[in-house]
């Protein structure tokens, strides 16, 4: 067993590696459950429907050139590619890459927080197709 | 269209040139606005003997 302590996750948004600003990342992957229960059945039956992919990323805001704000602002309302790995190492069976293509970013809050808080950015990419690679 | 990598946050060394086909699936406008890539302008080479001039009206 090789459990992993998530300390070096790699997050690349629109080909821009912003990992060193990421506080948390969550990749959600599921399929719609479509009911196919029919007469004669005694319990519910389901089959798989459309897949749902989304990525939630929380980052420390940075307004410097080529950092978070500069990289994210123009993505709102468009689709792009997001790539996530458990660690920054090379892709391997124990460090798979998850590439989400054509994923949509609907909103971005450049400034958010209360007095004394770190300025954070929370992004939610939705939709697209995911590919997992192990080599 | 070709672009020069100008930031250190892409998976390519700054100064290298990428073709638009290598940027498929990415938001190129956002990469430019973010200061990550810049379009490589085509230099118009002066052609010997080329006397074509733009004329008005």
Chain A contacts to B (CB-CB under 8 A)? 12, 14-18, 65-66, 70-71, 73-75, 78-81, 101-102
* CATH code, domain with A113: 2.40.30
Instruction: Report CB contact under 8 Å: A74, B27.
Output: yes
CA distance to partner chain B, nearest, from residue A59 (Å):
15
Contact predicate A18/A71, CB 8 Å: yes
Residue A119 lies in a domain: yes
Contact predicate A108/A72, CB 8 Å: yes
Distance (Å, rounded) from C-alpha B25 to C-alpha A11?
16
Burial class (CB within 10 angstroms; exposed 0-12, middle 13-18, buried 19+) of B8: exposed
Residue A4 lies in a domain: no
Least CA distance to A75: which residue of chain B?
B30
Look up the domain containing A65 and give its range: 10-36+44-133
pLDDT, one tens digit for every residue, chain A (135 residues): 789 999 999 999 999 999 999 999 999 999 999 999 999 999 999 999 999 999 999 999 999 999 999 999 999 999 999 999 999 999 999 999 999 999 999 999 999 999 999 999 999 999 999 999 999
Instruction: Report CB contact under 8 Å: A74, B35.
Output: no
Residue A54 lies in a domain: yes
Contact predicate A57/A123, CB 8 Å: yes
Q: Using alpha carbons only, give the angle B3, A10, A2 rounded to the nearest 5 degrees.
A: 150
The string of DSSP letters for chain A reads: ------SS-EEEETTEE-GGGEEEEEEEEEEEEEE---TT-SS--EEEEEEEEEEEEEEE---STTSHHHHHGGGTTEEEEEEEESSSS--BTTB-EEEEEEEEE----SS---TTPPPEEEEEEE--EEEEE--
Quote the number of domains for chain A.
1
Residues of chain A neighbouring B33 (CB-CB closer than 8 A): 70, 73-74
**ipTM for the complex?**
0.89
Distance (Å, rounded) from C-alpha A90 to C-alpha A76?
30
Residue A110 lies in a domain: yes
Residue A111 lies in a domain: yes
B57 confidence band (pLDDT: 50, 70, 90): very low
Q: What are A31's two structure tokens?
A: 């399929």
Predicted structure pTM score: 0.88
Q: Does B29 touch chain A (CB under 8 A)?
A: yes
Q: Does B14 touch chain A (CB under 8 A)?
A: no
Distance (Å, rounded) from C-alpha A110 to C-alpha A104?
17
Instruction: Report CB contact under 8 Å: B9, A79.
Output: no
Per the rule left: phi > 0, alpha: psi between -120 and 50, beta: everything else, A14 is: left
Residue A121 lies in a domain: yes
Residue A1 lies in a domain: no
Nearest to A17 among B9, B23, B34 (CB): B9
Nearest to B25 among A12, A16, A101 (CB): A101
**Phi, psi of B23, rounded to the nearest 5 degrees:** -105, 15
Distance (Å, rounded) from C-alpha A122 to C-alpha A58?
4
| CA neighbor of A133 nearest in space, from A77, A80, A86 | A86
């Amino acid at each position: 067993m090789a459990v992993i302590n998530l300390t070096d996750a790699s997050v690349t948004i629109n080909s821009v590696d912003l990992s060193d600003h990421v506080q948390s990342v969550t990749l959600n992957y599921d399929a719609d459950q479509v009911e196919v229960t029919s007469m004669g059945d005694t319990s519910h039956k389901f089959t798989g429907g459309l897949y749902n992919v989304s990525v939630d990323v929380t980052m420390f805001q940075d307004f410097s050139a080529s950092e978070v704000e500069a990289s994210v602002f123009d993505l709102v309302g468009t689709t792009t590619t997001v790539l996530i790995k458990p660690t920054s190492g090379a892709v391997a069976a124990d460090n798979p890459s998850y590439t989400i293509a054509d994923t949509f970013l609907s909103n971005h809050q450049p400034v958010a927080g209360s007095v004394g808080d770190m300025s954070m950015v929370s992004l939610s990419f939705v939709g697209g197709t995911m590919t997992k690679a192990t080599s | 269209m070709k672009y020069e990598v100008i930031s250190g946050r892409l998976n390519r060394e700054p100064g290298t040139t990428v073709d638009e086909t290598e940027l498929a699936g990415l938001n190129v406008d956002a990469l430019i606005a973010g200061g990550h890539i810049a379009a490589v302008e085509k230099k118009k080479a002066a052609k010997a003997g080329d006397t074509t001039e733009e004329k008005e009206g």
